[in-house]
A and B are shown apart, each in its own frame.
Chain A
Amino acid sequence: MNGVIAGITLRQLLSRRRTLLLLLLGGVLVLVALVFRLAGDESRALPFTAQLLANLGVAVLMPLVALLFGTGAIGSELEDGTAVYLLAKPIRRGAILLTKLVVASGCAILVTCGPMLLAGLIAAGGLGDGVVLGFVGAAAIGSVLYSALFVALSLTTARALVFGLGYVLIWEGVLSGLFAGTRTFSVRQITLAYADLFADVPPEVFDAQLDLGTASVMAAVVVVTATALAIRRVSMIEIAGETA
């Protein structure tokens, strides 16, 4: 972990525009919870909270936040050419990447779990028998997984954002709905499996598609493979001049 790199990455990620967009997203989550409080059926608070945190929190907020932070962690510097200043230093490339990954994950966790916690508390009117904390905890894990995935993606292609969106919307969205097999390779499903574990929720309210064993194995696989791939690519990164 390198303090200088962490500081620079942090300042870059938390730029005004990015933070605004993401806080807006989190705000929507909280707003929906408030609307429920005001106009919804109180007796169904628990199922609603689970639905809210699963369908808006884990399925929408978590991936979008991780996408912006993950692809921006090193991707934006590669795009505008400032990456050279970090890479032309006597620091192991692996260390550089891990620092950025940790910062991106940390930001993603903060901007995802914060609003989820708040929205959950509002909707459930309290901790909701562990539902809220369960989902928030699972979202932290999911954020780390997504961040690793998207950092690796940003080192693989120039259009990491679009491909990342394609993965989240098409693979995890459409295809997972159609083909059960794809669910094993879905960060969303892994996260929901953990949510099911942490939250002591009756199955009618919420039931994850993956069992915990598979989810844990896949989580480990995702993190390790993505990080290893990212480190490998950043060690061999090629940056050509603008005019050859």
Chain B
Amino acid sequence: MTLREPAVAARESATGAIYDLGYRGYDGPRLGRRAAVSTLFWASLRSAFGLKRSGRAKIVPWGLSAFLVAPAAVVVAISALVPGAPTPFSYDDYLWNLGILVALFVAAQAPELVSSDQRNRVLSLYFSHALLRSDYALAKLGAFAAALFALALVPMLVLFVGKVLLAADVPQAFGDQLENLPQVIGAPVLFALPLAALGMAIAAYTPRRAYATGAIIAVFVVSAAVGAILGEATTGTIARLAPLIDPFVIIDGTRDWLLGATIAESPVHDSGLALWWFGAIELAIVLIGTAVVVWRYRRIAA
């Protein structure tokens, strides 16, 4: 660090004094916008998991992560103990069945990233630096998407590694399982992007964490329930298309389209839509959600 001499020298007289508090100006190199964005990204990613904060902040994200990974560990254990036994989950339907945990993570942690800053009124501090408003929005969004990706990736990896290590012939099993790798990596991506966009778009609009959490979870749970009920009870177009208001159904359709694995119970097939529609809708969700977040932070008073 290069420090300057103080602008005003310390002085004293009978009736007044100037004190040297040791404050010095800084003349050294200043890291620019890129460093600011990257710092914010990593800091937000850490706070999504409660890292570098008190133990209390870790309970919810790590608890949910544990709940999400535990079934994968159980599956691996079952396969180890009783080889060849049918397992309750596989690559295809793992995230589909446990999607509610991911939704809960979004509802619990998205407000931590964006609502807290608004509540504590630190936005003006952020915006007075090299960081643009859109940089802030995109960095936060990116960090949360990365967090969700990591969250969804771990159980898939556990399944993958488990299958490989438990096989009699490990290198062969590795080769076999390699064809599943696109799904192991790709499915979490398909889950992370739209859920992050949706969650952030909702959370960015309120400084109160409780409201944000409630609104996010309401959107996920209600859409799923309504989609299911209408899908079953009505006929015709509504019955086919109603389940599509559930973002998890959209994600499943996209996954089916890009990665090829289908789930029997998923309403994707009954919808009668070509699979690429789902991909288009998911892309739309991601783009619109991102736009909403950026727009919100362009306009927010700070």
Which chain A residues have a beta carbon within 8 Å of chain B's beta carbons? 17-18, 21, 25, 28, 32, 35-36, 39-41, 44, 48, 51-52, 55-56, 59-60, 64, 67-68, 71-72, 76, 158-159, 161-162, 165-166, 169-170, 173-174
Whether A51 contacts B60 by the Cβ 8 Å rule is no
Given A40-B235, A169-B221, A170-B101, decide whether A52 and B214 contact each other with a Cβ distance below 8 A: no
B217: interface (CB < 8 Å): yes
Give the chain B neighbours of A18 by CB distance below 8 A: 211
Whether A161 contacts B213 by the Cβ 8 Å rule is yes
Which chain B residues have a beta carbon within 8 Å of chain A's beta carbons? 56, 59-60, 63-64, 67, 98, 100-101, 103-104, 107-108, 210-211, 213-215, 217-218, 221-222, 225-226, 228-230, 232-236, 238
Whether A39 contacts B221 by the Cβ 8 Å rule is no
Whether A39 contacts B238 by the Cβ 8 Å rule is yes
Whether B107 contacts A174 by the Cβ 8 Å rule is no
Contact partner of A162 (CB less than 8 A), chosen from B213, B226, B232, is B213
Main secondary structure of the interface of A (DSSP, over half): helix
Whether B60 contacts A35 by the Cβ 8 Å rule is no
Whether A56 contacts B104 by the Cβ 8 Å rule is no
Given A41-B235, A55-B229, decide whether A21 and B214 contact each other with a Cβ distance below 8 A: yes
Give the chain A neighbours of B221 by CB distance below 8 A: 60, 64, 169
Whether B229 contacts A56 by the Cβ 8 Å rule is yes
Whether B108 contacts A36 by the Cβ 8 Å rule is no
CA A145 to CA B162, docked complex, whole Å: 43
Find the residue from B63, B100, B222, B235 having the highest chain A CB count within 10 A.
Answer: B222
Given A21-B218, A64-B221, A161-B210, decide whether A40 and B100 contact each other with a Cβ distance below 8 A: no
Q: Could you tell me the distance in whole angstroms from the C-beta of B39 to the nearest C-beta in chain A?
A: 27
Give the chain A neighbours of B60 by CB distance below 8 A: 159, 162
Contact partner of A174 (CB less than 8 A), chosen from B98, B108, B215, B235, is B98
Q: Could you tell me the distance in whole angstroms from the C-beta of A232 to the nearest C-beta in chain B?
A: 22
Q: Could you tell me the distance in whole angstroms from the C-beta of B155 to the nearest C-beta in chain A?
A: 14
Given A32-B226, A159-B60, decide whether A51 and B218 contact each other with a Cβ distance below 8 A: no
Whether A165 contacts B233 by the Cβ 8 Å rule is no
Q: Could you tell me the distance in whole angstroms from the C-beta of B14 to the nearest C-beta in chain A?
A: 37
Whether B229 contacts A51 by the Cβ 8 Å rule is yes
Whether B213 contacts A40 by the Cβ 8 Å rule is no
- Having A48-B233, A162-B60, A162-B108, one finds 8 other A-B pairs with CB under 8 Å, namely A25-B222, A35-B238, A39-B235, A64-B221, A158-B56, A161-B213, A165-B217, A174-B101
Give the chain B neighbours of A67 by CB distance below 8 A: 214
Whether B234 contacts A55 by the Cβ 8 Å rule is no
Whether B213 contacts A44 by the Cβ 8 Å rule is no
Give the chain B neighbours of A55 by CB distance below 8 A: 225, 228-229
Whether A51 contacts B232 by the Cβ 8 Å rule is yes
Whether B222 contacts A60 by the Cβ 8 Å rule is yes
Find the residue from B98, B213, B215 having the highest chain A CB count within 10 A.
Answer: B213
